[in-house]
Amino acid sequence: MSVSLTNQLKSYVREKVDSGQYESASEVIRQGLRTLQEQEERERLYWSDLRKKVKEARTAIADGDVVDGPAFMRSKIAALKSRVRGKAPGAKRKKRV
Protein backbone atom coordinates (compact mmCIF):
# COMPACT_ATOMS: atom_id res chain seq x y z
CA MET A 1 0.00 0.00 0.00
CA SER A 2 1.22 3.45 -0.83
CA VAL A 3 0.02 6.56 0.93
CA SER A 4 0.49 10.16 -0.17
CA LEU A 5 0.87 12.81 2.50
CA THR A 6 0.84 16.58 2.33
CA ASN A 7 4.12 18.34 3.05
CA GLN A 8 2.73 19.43 6.42
CA LEU A 9 1.91 15.83 7.39
CA LYS A 10 5.28 14.59 6.11
CA SER A 11 7.00 17.13 8.37
CA TYR A 12 4.85 16.09 11.32
CA VAL A 13 5.73 12.41 10.80
CA ARG A 14 9.44 13.26 10.47
CA GLU A 15 9.29 15.29 13.71
CA LYS A 16 7.75 12.35 15.57
CA VAL A 17 10.43 9.96 14.33
CA ASP A 18 13.25 12.46 14.92
CA SER A 19 12.03 13.07 18.48
CA GLY A 20 12.53 9.40 19.24
CA GLN A 21 8.89 8.81 20.10
CA TYR A 22 8.56 6.42 17.17
CA GLU A 23 10.99 4.10 15.40
CA SER A 24 9.66 4.75 11.90
CA ALA A 25 7.18 6.68 9.78
CA SER A 26 5.09 3.52 9.50
CA GLU A 27 4.82 3.36 13.27
CA VAL A 28 3.58 6.97 13.38
CA ILE A 29 0.95 6.23 10.73
CA ARG A 30 -0.16 3.01 12.49
CA GLN A 31 -0.57 4.88 15.77
CA GLY A 32 -2.54 7.58 14.01
CA LEU A 33 -4.87 4.98 12.52
CA ARG A 34 -5.30 3.21 15.88
CA THR A 35 -6.18 6.56 17.47
CA LEU A 36 -8.70 7.22 14.69
CA GLN A 37 -10.28 3.79 15.26
CA GLU A 38 -10.56 4.47 19.00
CA GLN A 39 -12.13 7.87 18.37
CA GLU A 40 -14.65 6.39 15.93
CA GLU A 41 -15.57 3.69 18.46
CA ARG A 42 -16.08 6.30 21.21
CA GLU A 43 -18.30 8.31 18.88
CA ARG A 44 -20.25 5.19 17.88
CA LEU A 45 -20.85 4.34 21.55
CA TYR A 46 -21.81 7.94 22.34
CA TRP A 47 -24.41 8.12 19.57
CA SER A 48 -25.71 4.64 20.37
CA ASP A 49 -26.17 5.61 24.03
CA LEU A 50 -27.81 8.89 23.05
CA ARG A 51 -30.27 7.12 20.71
CA LYS A 52 -31.14 4.70 23.53
CA LYS A 53 -31.80 7.57 25.96
CA VAL A 54 -33.95 9.43 23.42
CA LYS A 55 -35.95 6.25 22.80
CA GLU A 56 -36.45 5.80 26.57
CA ALA A 57 -37.52 9.45 26.90
CA ARG A 58 -40.01 9.15 24.05
CA THR A 59 -41.45 6.00 25.62
CA ALA A 60 -41.77 7.76 28.99
CA ILE A 61 -43.52 10.71 27.35
CA ALA A 62 -45.88 8.41 25.46
CA ASP A 63 -46.69 6.62 28.73
CA GLY A 64 -47.34 9.94 30.47
CA ASP A 65 -44.38 9.42 32.80
CA VAL A 66 -43.29 13.06 32.75
CA VAL A 67 -42.74 15.88 35.21
CA ASP A 68 -43.78 19.48 34.70
CA GLY A 69 -40.33 21.00 35.22
CA PRO A 70 -41.37 24.60 35.96
CA ALA A 71 -44.10 23.49 38.40
CA PHE A 72 -41.70 21.09 40.12
CA MET A 73 -39.08 23.84 40.54
CA ARG A 74 -41.67 26.32 41.87
CA SER A 75 -42.74 23.79 44.52
CA LYS A 76 -39.12 23.11 45.52
CA ILE A 77 -38.32 26.82 45.76
CA ALA A 78 -41.46 27.42 47.83
CA ALA A 79 -40.51 24.56 50.17
CA LEU A 80 -37.00 25.96 50.63
CA LYS A 81 -38.33 29.46 51.29
CA SER A 82 -40.74 28.14 53.91
CA ARG A 83 -37.89 26.26 55.62
CA VAL A 84 -35.84 29.45 55.73
CA ARG A 85 -38.79 31.46 57.10
CA GLY A 86 -39.42 28.77 59.73
CA LYS A 87 -36.04 29.33 61.36
CA ALA A 88 -36.05 31.73 64.30
CA PRO A 89 -34.12 34.97 63.82
CA GLY A 90 -30.85 34.96 65.70
CA ALA A 91 -30.85 31.18 66.04
CA LYS A 92 -27.37 29.70 66.07
CA ARG A 93 -26.30 27.77 63.02
CA LYS A 94 -24.76 24.36 63.33
CA LYS A 95 -21.11 24.30 62.43
CA ARG A 96 -20.15 22.17 59.47
CA VAL A 97 -17.35 19.74 60.03
> pLDDT tens digit string along 37-78?
999 999 999 999 999 999 999 999 999 999 999 999 999 999
80 domain residue, yes or no: yes
92 domain residue, yes or no: no
Among 25, 22, 24, 21, CA closest to 10: 25
Residue 91 has pLDDT above 60, yes or no: no
Please tell me the pTM assigned to this model. Answer: 0.62
| Number of domains comprising the chain | 1
Look up the domain containing 14 and give its range: 7-86
Specify the DSSP class assigned to residue 21: S
Find out whether 20 and 28 touch, Cβ atoms under 8 Å: no
93 domain residue, yes or no: no
54 domain residue, yes or no: yes
Residue 19 has pLDDT above 70, yes or no: yes
What pLDDT sits at residue 93? 61
63 domain residue, yes or no: yes
Choice among 13-17, 61-65, 81-85 with the minimum mean pLDDT: 81-85
All residues at 6 or more sequence positions from 5 whose CB lies less than 8 Å from its CB, including other chains: 13
71 domain residue, yes or no: yes
Q: How far apart are CA 60 and CA 63, in angstroms?
A: 5
Q: How far apart are CA 29 and CA 56, in angstroms?
A: 41
27 domain residue, yes or no: yes
